[in-house]
């Protein structure tokens, strides 16, 4: 009969059942069946697989640490083969396979005892852990090998360095330091979770107690300078999660966020009354874990009432000061952009705030040249902020992403895809719900259903488009578009008047981070037809002449069509930022090469379309009608929208409008203002049972039932002629 090395309880061995998970074991057996599930073991990395890491437990047994058990992504681990790691055995299967889980404690010093798990003998302390002066806590041995008790002290510090601290199992409020808000088992007494325990906390009223000096108050952003020291943090709990070991509170203040680990017993919730949204003071030691900072919580105080509100106000003020630009400076002198300076500042603040709060930024943009270029501008600005904030090599693929959508409407299908993915990332990787930034998409009322579904999960959204209708402005946090007078007719005739979505997005991006020089030519790339003089001059000053700008635009448009759902980050970056001062005729750059394919494919398609364009005169208006189903290749470049844009640019002077008729949808191009909602309603009333509905008022698309195709064509031509 012996005594538990932690609580002194009489046991058959050296550890009681209550505290078995507080110790780490070195395995001396030779078969998996000799392992004890629930215990923590010291192991070494054997190798990696797509689904996890193989860990050697002792010399003869290997277990699998599945990727689902890790607290970060598998590819982010910096472990090397042979490296010592600490894991928990969760299950030993009948076939000898060993299932492991992750331990947040990754050194002997973080456990309260180190024992040998030897199936042929009682559990004994490791010889190297019984040296004179070891202060880990538990037992040591005298010269005759007899076990004696050693006082348990904070990890890594002697009794002279660190005074006694209150138990991490109780929460005290500022207003009543003697009132316990919530409690779990006391790690110093060994009381199990749920039982009462005594807090021997020194107070000012204790005559024999020495007042513990308060640790210095430090901002999260300063913790790099305090590794190994005790500090006091004040902030808001934004995430509280229970691991197989400690409880982890993610605390934020106005300078950043940090994980604070509070350990009572393995898998037992510390401070159960403290959760997300609470404002607290945390005392603890700053440590570095796998490249990230972490605070080992030694005391926690819950702030309430005026103190709570004061801290929240300070956090909000600090974040706003860091995130919001002092002044908006457009890329060129553009009154339409300058008029939106407050909304631009709002968008910049939201994006910068998301990065500061470790919230992923997801850019959703149309699969068009304007969408890709504007989306790439936002991406270009966010990337350096992510790289500065996160040391992980793969952080830039987790905290900033572009996801193109087909067309310019954010529908239920897109919203469902996003919600499924974001909830999975939150569940598997503890990622926060992202900020969604829409560029050249989402501005019309047809996107309302998708946004309302996002609203259920409180997903923040920014819409940057050439037009944002009231139905969208009312349900998103920030809606940025030039005024209606500045935009006039958007893409109805294939030529954009007023600022493009790229102009607005690039202006936002230049204030997110210092990337103005990289982006100054992008507005010129986004204009089809004549580029406004100010933007053309800005591009030329940056080294991009008119020919180069045209080639980049065409190359992006071709690239946007193929694999339209992929961001093609590296290819797009090469096209947009890799072509400067190309003057030598023998130098064929990437954009120049791709643009040749664009012109060749588009030229053939336009010639075919022009030869088969039917000219109809309806009520003294001339309308060109193209049967897209018969005279275009449905799954080849160019898409119908790009083809009709180019066709109208060539023939628009002789036609009042062009209608492209596909199997179950049609497209309208006109130099006159056309409301396709009214057009669809008028034609639907004339035909009946055709289910005509506007798909996008921005790109002038209308869908209908294929069985009514001929009737729909005639009704649309009549309604269009009447509206022109």
Query: Do 356 and 276 lie in a common domain?
Result: no
Euclidean distance between CA atoms 207 and 125, whole angstroms: 39
Q: Whose CA is closest to 170, among 268, 273, 243?
A: 273
Q: Which of 2-16, 472-486, 548-562 has the lowest mean pLDDT?
A: 2-16
Query: Do 350 and 494 lie in a common domain?
Result: yes
Query: Do 118 and 263 lie in a common domain?
Result: no
Query: Do 125 and 174 lie in a common domain?
Result: no
pLDDT at 382 over 60: yes
> Is 693 domain-assigned?
yes
Query: Do 26 and 126 lie in a common domain?
Result: yes
> Is 402 domain-assigned?
yes
> Is 325 domain-assigned?
no
- Long-range own/partner contacts, residues 254-257 (CB < 8 A, 24 or more apart): 254/219, 254/314, 254/315, 254/316, 254/317, 254/318, 254/319, 254/321, 254/322, 255/219, 255/220, 255/221, 255/222, 255/318, 256/219, 256/220, 256/221, 256/356, 257/220, 257/357, 257/358
What is the structure's pLDDT at 186? 39
Query: Do 367 and 291 lie in a common domain?
Result: no
Query: Do 540 and 403 lie in a common domain?
Result: yes
Q: Is the separation of the CB atoms in 107 and 101 below 8 Å?
A: no
Mean pLDDT taken over the chain: 81
pLDDT at 696 over 80: yes
> Is 593 domain-assigned?
no
State mean pLDDT over 150-175.
Answer: 41
- pTM to 2 decimal places: 0.68
**Residue 154: which pLDDT band, with cuts at 50, 70 and 90?**
very low
pLDDT digits 0-9 by tens, 40-92: 888 988 877 767 788 888 877 888 888 777 766 666 677 777 888 888 898 88
Query: Do 89 and 179 lie in a common domain?
Result: no
What is the structure's pLDDT at 663? 92
pLDDT at 498 over 60: yes
Q: In sequence order, what are the residues at sequence separation of 6 or more whose Cβ sits closer than 8 angstroms to the Cβ of residue 603?
A: none
Query: Do 614 and 568 lie in a common domain?
Result: no
Query: Do 497 and 355 lie in a common domain?
Result: yes
pLDDT at 188 over 90: no
The domain spanning residue 403 has which CATH number?
Answer: 3.90.1640
> Is 201 domain-assigned?
yes
The domain spanning residue 102 has which CATH number?
Answer: 2.40.50.140
Query: Do 108 and 65 lie in a common domain?
Result: yes
> Is 312 domain-assigned?
no
Query: Do 341 and 470 lie in a common domain?
Result: yes
Q: In sequence order, what are the residues at sequence separation of 6 or more whose Cβ sits closer than 8 angstroms to the Cβ of residue 194?
A: 184, 185
The residue from 88, 120, 150 where one domain ends is 150
pLDDT digits 0-9 by tens, 256-304: 889 999 988 767 889 999 998 999 999 999 988 766 789 999 999 999 9
**Residue 212: which pLDDT band, with cuts at 50, 70 and 90?**
low
Which string of DSSP letters, residue by residue, matches 416-461? HHHHHHHHHHHHHH-PPPPEEEEESSS-SGGGHHHHHHHHTTT--E
**Residue 489: which pLDDT band, with cuts at 50, 70 and 90?**
very low
State mean pLDDT over 520-544.
Answer: 94
Euclidean distance between CA atoms 683 and 717, whole angstroms: 9
> Is 157 domain-assigned?
no
Secondary structure of residue 209 in the 3-state scheme: coil
Number of domains composing the chain: 4
* Angle value at C-alpha 578, between 573 and 579, nearest 5 degrees: 130
Domain of residue 52, residue span? 2-150
Q: Which two tokens stand for residue 636?
A: 């080849």
What is the structure's pLDDT at 211? 52
What's CA 187's distance to the chain center, in Å? 36
pLDDT at 203 over 50: no
Q: Whose CA is closest to 46, among 33, 32, 65, 30?
A: 65
> Is 322 domain-assigned?
no
The domain spanning residue 660 has which CATH number?
Answer: 3.10.310.20
Euclidean distance between CA atoms 20 and 4, whole angstroms: 9
pLDDT at 170 over 70: no
Q: Which of 18-22, 60-64, 240-244, 679-683 has the lowest mean pLDDT?
A: 18-22
């Amino acid at each position: 009969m012996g005594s538990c090395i932690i609580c002194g309880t009489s046991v058959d061995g050296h550890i009681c059942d209550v505290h078995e998970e507080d110790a780490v074991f070195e395995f001396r057996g030779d078969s998996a069946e000799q392992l004890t599930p629930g215990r923590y073991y010291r192991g070494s990395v054997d190798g990696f697989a797509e689904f996890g890491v193989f860990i050697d437990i002792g010399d003869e047994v290997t277990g699998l640490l599945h990727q689902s058990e890790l607290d970060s992504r598998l590819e982010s681990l910096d472990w090397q083969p042979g490296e010592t790691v600490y894991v928990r055995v969760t299950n030993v299967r009948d076939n000898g396979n060993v299932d492991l889980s992750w331990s947040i404690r990754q050194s002997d010093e973080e456990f309260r005892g180190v024992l040998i798990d030897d199936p042929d003998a009682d559990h004994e302390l490791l010889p190297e852990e019984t040296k004179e002066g070891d202060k880990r806590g538990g037992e040591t041995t005298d010269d005759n090998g007899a076990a004696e008790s050693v006082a348990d002290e904070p990890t890594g510090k002697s009794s002279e360095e660190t005074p006694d601290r209150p138990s991490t199992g109780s929460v005290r409020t500022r207003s009543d330091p003697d009132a316990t808000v919530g409690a779990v088992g006391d790690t110093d007494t060994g009381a199990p979770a749920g039982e009462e325990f005594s807090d021997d906390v020194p107070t000012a009223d204790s005559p024999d107690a020495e007042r513990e000096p308060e640790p210095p108050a430090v901002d999260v952003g300063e913790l790099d300078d305090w590794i190994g020291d005790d500090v006091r943090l004040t902030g808001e709990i934004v995430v509280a999660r229970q691991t197989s070991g400690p409880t982890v509170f993610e605390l934020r203040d106005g300078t950043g966020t940090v994980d604070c680990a509070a350990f009572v017993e393995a898998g037992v919730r510390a401070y159960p009354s403290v959760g997300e949204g609470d404002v607290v003071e945390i005392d603890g030691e700053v440590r570095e874990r796998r490249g990230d900072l972490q605070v080992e919580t030694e005391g926690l105080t819950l702030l309430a009432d005026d103190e709570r509100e004061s801290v929240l106000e300070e956090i909000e003020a600090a974040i706003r000061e860091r995130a919001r630009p002092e002044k908006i400076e457009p890329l060129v002198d553009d009154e339409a952009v300058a008029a939106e300076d407050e909304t631009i500042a709002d968008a910049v603040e939201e994006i910068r705030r998301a990065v500061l709060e470790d919230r992923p930024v997801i850019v959703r943009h149309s699969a068009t040249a304007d969408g890709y270029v504007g989306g790439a501008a936002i991406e270009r600005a966010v990337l350096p902020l992510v790289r500065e904030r996160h040391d992980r090599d793969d952080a830039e693929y987790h905290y900033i992403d572009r996801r193109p959508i087909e067309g310019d409407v954010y529908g239920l299908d897109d919203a469902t895809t996003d919600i499924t993915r974001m909830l999975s990332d939150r569940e598997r990787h503890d990622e926060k719900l992202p900020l969604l930034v829409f560029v050249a998409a989402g501005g019309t009322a047809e996107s309302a259903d998708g946004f309302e579904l996002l609203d259920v999960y409180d997903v923040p959204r920014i819409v940057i488009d050439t037009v944002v209708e009231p139905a969208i402005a009312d349900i998103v946090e920030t809606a940025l578009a030039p005024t209606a007078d500045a935009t006039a007719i958007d893409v109805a005739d294939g030529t954009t008047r007023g600022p493009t979505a790229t102009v607005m997005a690039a202006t936002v991006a230049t204030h997110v981070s210092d990337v103005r020089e990289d982006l100054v030519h992008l507005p010129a790339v986004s204009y089809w037809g004549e580029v406004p003089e100010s933007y053309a001059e800005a591009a030329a000053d940056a080294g991009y002449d008119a020919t180069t700008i045209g080639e980049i635009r065409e190359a992006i448009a071709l690239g946007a069509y193929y694999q339209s759902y992929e961001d093609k980050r590296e290819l797009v970056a090469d096209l947009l930022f890799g072509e400067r001062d190309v003057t030598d005729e023998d130098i064929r750059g990437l954009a120049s090469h791709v643009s040749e394919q664009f012109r060749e494919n588009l030229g053939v398609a336009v010639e075919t379309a022009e030869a088969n364009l039917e000219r109809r005169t309806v009520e003294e208006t001339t309308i060109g009608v193209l049967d897209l189903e018969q005279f275009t290749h449905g799954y080849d470049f160019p898409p119908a929208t790009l083809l009709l844009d180019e066709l109208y640019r060539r023939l628009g002077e002789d036609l009042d409008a062009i209608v492209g008729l596909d199997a179950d949808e049609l497209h309208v191009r006109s130099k006159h203002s056309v409301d396709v909602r009214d057009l669809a309603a008028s034609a639907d009333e004339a035909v009946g049972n055709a289910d005509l509905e506007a798909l996008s008022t921005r790109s002038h698309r209308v869908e209908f039932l294929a069985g009514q195709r001929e009737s729909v064509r005639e009704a649309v031509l009549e309604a269009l002629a009447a509206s022109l």
